[in-house]
Amino acid sequence: MRYLIILLLISQTAFSAEKLLHCKFKWGDKVSPEKKTVFSEGELSDVYLKIDFDREKVIDSPFNVYGTFGINKTNVVFTSSEVKWYGKNKYVRRVATLDRQTGRLRSVYNNLANKRESGEENYTCSLGNLRF
């Protein structure tokens, strides 16, 4: 009986609530005083997010902003309707928002080094028609 309980606990631990979301690039732009570049579907790379929604933990995402000595300076906030990344160092400020109802993902950044460049990227994530 003891072994059965241990096996049951191990199997529940091994089952992960992590979800891998494939987010396809749809459109975006990069703006500076000299010019504005608009990107359309397929021109920028897709991104992948690995998130454990049950534990409210992001395992992997491209939206992390790092500071001195590689310290992650990104905060992630989970609500019932979205997951939001906030990150800032002396070079860049980035905010990314995943809509948990629709699967829309929007990432906005500002280049703080020259204070004159910004950009936006929009994606549609797999499982978008499911609540995650």
- Three-class SS string for the chain? CHHHHHHHHHHHHHCCCEEEEEEEEEEEEEECCCCEEEEECCCCCCEEEEEECCCCEEEECCCCCECHHHCECEEEEECCCEEEEEEECCCEEEEEEEECCCCEEEEEEEECCCCCEEEEEEEEECCCCCCC
Lowest mean pLDDT segment, chosen from 4-13, 43-52, 91-100: 4-13
Topology (CATH) of 17-125: Lipocalin (2.40.128)
pTM here is 0.81
Question: Tens digits of per-residue pLDDT, 26-74?
Answer: 999 999 888 999 999 999 999 999 999 999 999 999 999 998 888 899 9
Question: Tens digits of per-residue pLDDT, 100-132?
Answer: 999 999 999 999 887 789 999 999 998 755 666
* Domain parsing of the chain, residue ranges: 17-125
